[in-house]
Amino acid sequence: MKSMFNLDVVDRKILRILQEQADISHAALAEAVGASPASCWRRIKALDTAGVLGRTVRLVNPQMVGRGLTVFCQVRMKSHDAAARQNFERFVESHEEVLECCSMSGDWDYLLRVVVADVADYERLLMRGILTHEAVAHSSSHFALKSVKYSTAIPV
């Protein structure tokens, strides 16, 4: 596990703003956090180098691109040996409709967040992919009716 980066008040302000508006100019960011543009740039570079900041992306509205159905799929494995887990994780990584996959404690081994066009689209993934995978014993699917809260911003 990586050690925690020591953040001061200005670093935290920078992180909060960048998480909401990644395309803000250095000048506007510096003004918003009360620092010089050069100082702001150095801080961003240090945060980037330390691994505090990841890649910059633009978030896509799933409904606008025909991916309006979110499904949470719980998966139970037949076996928990390293090879079976690695094989399943490679399978998950190869499917772009699986946005997240978490190894879980409790009754289920994995939790997948899947974004698809519709129920038929999900059924294809489930029946021809997940349930036919050699390492999978069972699955349980939960369809999101609406998103009440969605954020990518980490509290800092």
Rounded percentage of the chain residues whose pLDDT exceeds 90: 97
- Give, in words, the CATH class of 9-50: mainly alpha
Residue 3 has what pLDDT? 75
Q: Is residue 1 scored above 80 in pLDDT?
A: no
Question: For residues 16 and 156, is the Cβ–Cβ distance under 8 A?
Answer: yes
Rounded to two decimals, the pTM is 0.90
- Give, in words, the CATH class of 62-143: alpha beta
Among the listed residues 13, 141, 19, 155, the one whose alpha carbon sits nearest the alpha carbon of residue 69: 141
Q: Per residue in 83-113, pLDDT tens? A: 999 999 999 999 999 999 999 999 999 999 9
The ranges of the chain annotated as CATH 3.30.70.920 are 62-143
Mean pLDDT of the chain: 96
d(Cα 72, Cα 7) in Å, to the nearest integer? 34
Mind giving me the DSSP string for 51-81? TSS--------GGGGT--EEEEEEEEES--S
Instruction: Please identify which residue in the block is written with the tokens 């069972």.
Output: 138
In terms of Cβ atoms closer than 10 Å to its own Cβ (0-12, 13-18, 19+), residue 76 is middle
Q: Per residue in 105-144, pLDDT tens? A: 999 999 999 999 999 999 999 999 999 999 999 999 999 9
